[in-house]
Structures are given as structure tokens and as C-alpha cells.
Amino acid sequence: MLRRTLDLLAPALETPGATVVDCTLGMGGHSEALLSAFPAVRLIGLDRDPAALELAGERLAPYADRTSLVHAVYDELPDVLARLGVPTVQGVLFDLGVSSLQLDEADRGFAYAQDAPLDMRMDQTKGLSAAEVLNTYAPGDLVRILRAYGEEKQARRIVAAVVREREKEPFTRSARLVEVIREALPQAAKRTGGNPAKRTFQALRIEVNGELAVLERALPAALDALAVGGRMVVLAYHSLEDRLVKQVFAGGASSTAPPGLPVVPEQYQPRLKLLTRGAEQASEEEIAQNRRAAPVRLRAAQRIREAG
């Protein structure tokens, strides 16, 4: 949905001196398109993955005079902008989830389709790995994670199998976890919804990287950083992310006035205007070219007034 993203951000980025933040830099594909499409724009790119930053830096080298690439998680945006001396920005982009770099590098452990060390950290320099979560969390906490972050109906059955297996030998590889999940599920559950390990891997990844908690902090912070007239585009890849985005955007686009006021004062007026009707999805043509676009949900909003 690159073209749609550029079109939605364009009215804000064509203003003189515009700055756009790519909060999920990855390998720099979106950033390269933004810098190419808007020759005067300044770009700030954030990523928690040092490997991604290095690759993006090489890709964006022709635009080095207009880019600032920062090793940071996107909820650190206010601190990054303060360090760079940027009070407000005109555009913000979030392309959530796992990058192609992380999925395609087998030793990162994100993909359930290939055997790899159970890591799943987007920044491998800090935090617990997926293996450590599986091997050390209490059964009740594992059930909670699988239900909350993976929407896994068979969470208790899977966790019971994991606990039995980890007592024999700690988990270290993804293939063993996939096999344990397959054996734990009833036949009916294996016949629906693709790979039976998909939801468990999603849940572990979200827990390891604190993704929803980070997003919950990052969205309001990014909206606060937007100048009036500035625009934000968010690409979400599962219902939990999309629900959060929907709630934050809907809250910003609603009046906060007490009911019954004959005239709504300025400080209660909505500060956001929604630019998409619900969530937009990738076209069949784009999905045919890139199957990873199939789950994407795009939402966009514009800042229309200062904070009250």
C-alpha cells in the first residue's frame, strides 16, 4: 500500500520545511519512497533493530543530507525529537509488525515455517528471548499471553504440552515448539486458520518485544508531535494493533465536551480528522505480488487543531 501511503501523506509533506518520521524504518523502503517523492522533505527514521538501521543507512545514503536515522523504539519519539531540536513534524508513518528482514533471517526465530533459535527479539542486544519466556514463565502467564496476544482458543492445551516438554528439556529451537503445538491440538483445530503455530508465535513475539504496550504509548505521543495540518498513516497487521489504532484515532476525532452544551468550546472540539473510512486493505493485485500484504489494515488521520 505504498502508493496509498504516499498519497495520504502528500498534502502535509508538500509544505516548505516539512519533516516526516518513519517510526518503523526497517530496510528503508518506505523512507526511500518518501525521500524520492518529496525532494524537500527531511526524514527521521527510527528502528530498534541495529541490523535494520545499518541496511537502511546504506539504502538511504544518496539522501544522507536529509535523513537522521536513530536507534530507538518508537515510543521514544518525543525524546528523539527533543534531541534533534524538532518541535513538531508534518508526517508520521507506522508500518507495524515484523519486517521482511526479520522474517527472512532464519536465525532470528520469527518464522514458524523454518527451524531457528527461539529468539524473536527485534533488538537482540537486550531483553528476554522467546526461549526464555517459554522456559521460565509460569503456566498461567503463558496462557494469558497466548489468549491476549495470539487470540489462541487452545491456549491451555498448548501451555500444558509446553510445560511437560520444558521439564524434560528447555526449548531452544522453533521446530520443536511447532511440533509440540501440532501434537497438542485436536484435529479440528489443525484444519482451520493456516499453520497451527501461527498464533502462538505471534503471541510470543508481542510479549518479547512489548509491542502492544509500546504502541499504546507511541500513538498518542506521535499525535502530540504532529503540527496542525500534519498527517499520520498506520499500517497494522493483526486485529490487536488495528483495534488500538482505531480507538486512538476515534478518540482524537471525537468531541470531549460534556453532553448538553448548546455551543461546544474550542478546547472540546476534535483535534483529529479521519482520512480513511474504517480500515483500508490491500488490493487483490498487490496481495498477488506480495502475500505479506494480505492482513494489512491502513488507517490515517490529520491533526486539525492544537491541544486544548
Task: Let me know whether 165 and 223 are in one domain.
Answer: no
Phi-psi region of 84 (alpha: psi -120 to 50; beta: other; left: phi over 0): alpha
At 280 the three-state DSSP class reads strand
pLDDT 10s digits, 260-295: 777 777 777 889 999 999 999 988 888 888 887 888
For residue 200, the enclosing domain spans 102-209
74 is in an annotated binding site: yes
Q: Which residues lie across from 94 on neighbouring strands?
A: 234
Task: Let me know whether 113 and 197 are in one domain.
Answer: yes
* CATH (domain of 280): 3.40.50.150
pLDDT 10s digits, 102-122: 555 556 566 677 888 999 898
pLDDT at 98: 66
CB count in 10 Å sphere of residue 176: 14
At 240 the three-state DSSP class reads helix
102 is in an annotated binding site: yes
281 is in an annotated binding site: no
Task: Let me know whether 72 and 217 are in one domain.
Answer: yes
252 is in an annotated binding site: no
Q: How confident is the model at residue 30 (pLDDT cuts 50, 70, 90)?
A: very high
The number of domains in the chain is: 2
Q: Is the pLDDT of residue 97 over 90?
A: no
Task: Let me know whether 48 and 78 are in one domain.
Answer: yes
229 is in an annotated binding site: no
The last residue of one of the domains, among 193, 209, 225, is 209
pLDDT at 287: 84
pLDDT 10s digits, 135-193: 999 999 999 999 999 999 999 999 999 999 999 999 999 999 999 999 998 877 666 66
Give Cβ neighbours of residue 193 (< 8 Å, ≥ 6 apart): 199
Examine residue 110 and state whether it is found in any structural domain, yes or no: yes
CB-neighbour burial class of residue 46 (10 A; exposed 0-12, middle 13-18, buried 19+):
buried
The last residue of one of the domains, among 189, 209, 229, is 209
